[in-house]
Structure 1
Amino acid sequence: MEVCYQLPVLPLDRPVPKHVLSRRGAISFSSSSSLFGAPDPRQLSQRRGAISYDSSDQTALYIRMLARLGCGSTSASSAPERRVHRLLSFQRYLHSSRLLRGVPQQIPLHILDEDYTGQARCMLEKVGNWNFDIFLFDRLTNGNSLITLTFHLLNQYGLVELYQLDMVKLWRFLVMVQEDYHSDNPYHNAIHAADVTQAMYCYMREPMLAKSLTSRDILLGLLAAATHDLDHPGVNQPFLIKTDHYLATLYRNTSVLENHHWKSAVGLLRETGLFSHLPAEDSLNMERELGSLILATDISRQNDYLSKFRLHLDQENLCLSNASHRHFLLQMALKCADICNPCRPWELSKQWSEKVTKEFFQQGDIEKKHKLEVSPLCDRVANTVGNIQMGFMTYVAEPLFAEWARFSDTRLSQTMLGHMGLNKASWSGLQQEQTSVTEEVEPSTTGTDVEDAAARKDGNTGGTSSKEIPQGSRES
Structure 2
Amino acid sequence: MVGSHHVGMLQLHGPLWARSEGLRCGEISFDSPDQNVKCVRMLDTTYSGEIGTKKKVKRLLSFQRYFHASRLLRGIVPQASLHLLDEDYLGQARHMLSKVGMWNFDIFLFDRLTNGNSLVTLLCHLFNSHGLIHHFHLDMVKLHQFLVLVQEDYHSQNPYHNAVHAADVTQAMHCYLKEPKLASVLTPMDIMLGLLAAAAHDVDHPGVNQPFLIKTKHHLASLYQNVSVLENHHWRSTIGMLRESRLLAHLPKEVTQDIEQQLGALILATDINRQNEFLSRLKAHLHNHDLRLEDSEHKHFMLQIALKCADICNPCRIWDMSKQWSERVCEEFYRQGDLERTFELEISPLCNQQKDTIPSIQIGFMTYIVEPLFEEWAHFTGDSPLSENMLCHLRKNKAKWRGLLHKQHSKSSDHSGQMTDTDGNPSQTSKEGEVP
TM-score normalised by the shorter chain: which range applies?
A: 0.7 to 0.9
Match of 1:333 in 2: 306
Q: CA deviation at 1:441?
A: 6.3
Match of 1:136 in 2: 109
Structure 1 gap ranges (5+): 1-47, 53-58, 72-89, 444-476
Q: TM-score, normalised by structure 2?
A: 0.80
Q: CA deviation at 1:206?
A: 0.3
Match of 1:62 in 2: 21
Choose the corresponding residue for 1:145, options 108, 118, 136: 118
Match of 2:317 in 1: 344
Choose the corresponding residue for 1:421, options 395, 410, 419: 395
Match of 2:71 in 1: none
Return the alpha-carbon distance in structure 2 between the equivalents of residues 294 and 182 of structure 1: 18
Return the alpha-carbon distance in structure 2 between the equivalents of residues 51 and 302 of structure 1: 34
Q: CA deviation at 1:324?
A: 1.1
- 1:411 to 2:385 alignment: yes
- Letter aligned with residue 417 of structure 1: L
- Letter aligned with residue 117 of structure 1: L
Q: CA deviation at 1:153?
A: 0.5
Is the 8 Å Cα contact of residues 160 and 328 (structure 2) preserved in structure 1? yes
Choose the corresponding residue for 2:210, options 237, 244, 257: 237
Q: Where do 4+ consecutive residues of structure 1 move more than 4 Å?
A: 90-100, 102-110, 440-443
CA gap 1:433/1:247 in 2 versus in 1, 3 angstroms: same
- 1:192 to 2:151 alignment: no
Is the 8 Å Cα contact of residues 205 and 234 (structure 2) preserved in structure 1? yes
Match of 1:383 in 2: 356
Q: CA deviation at 1:281?
A: 0.8
Match of 1:162 in 2: 135
> What are the residue-to-residue correspondences of 1:30-429 with 2, within 5 Å?
49-50=14-15, 52=17, 60-63=19-22, 101=57, 111-408=84-381, 409-429=383-403
Q: CA deviation at 1:111?
A: 1.0
Aligned to 2:225, the other structure's residue is in SS state coil
CA gap 1:237/1:93 in 2 versus in 1, 3 angstroms: farther
Identity score, percent:
59
Return the alpha-carbon distance in structure 2 between the equivalents of residues 233 and 119 of structure 1: 32
Is the 8 Å Cα contact of residues 134 and 194 (structure 1) preserved in structure 2? yes
Return the alpha-carbon distance in structure 1 between the equivalents of residues 195 and 391 of structure 2: 24
Aligned length, in residue pairs: 369
- Letter aligned with residue 90 of structure 2: T
Q: CA deviation at 1:421?
A: 0.5
Return the alpha-carbon distance in structure 1 between the equivalents of residues 247 and 353 of structure 2: 43
Is the 8 Å Cα contact of residues 45 and 157 (structure 2) preserved in structure 1? no
Return the alpha-carbon distance in structure 1 between the equivalents of residues 294 and 245 of structure 2: 33
Match of 2:412 in 1: 438
Q: Deviations over 1:197-254 (max 9, x none)?
A: 0000000000001111000000000000000000000000000000000100110100
Is the 8 Å Cα contact of residues 197 and 225 (structure 1) preserved in structure 2? yes
Return the alpha-carbon distance in structure 2 between the equivalents of residues 342 and 98 of structure 1: 44
Return the alpha-carbon distance in structure 2 between the equivalents of residues 183 and 369 of structure 1: 23
- Letter aligned with residue 363 of structure 2: M
Structure 2 gap ranges (5+): 1-12, 30-43, 69-77, 418-436
Return the alpha-carbon distance in structure 2 between the equivalents of residues 62 and 348 of structure 1: 35
Is the 8 Å Cα contact of residues 231 and 270 (structure 2) preserved in structure 1? yes
CA RMSD of aligned residues (A): 2.6
CA gap 1:311/1:223 in 2 versus in 1, 3 angstroms: same
Q: TM-score, normalised by structure 1?
A: 0.73
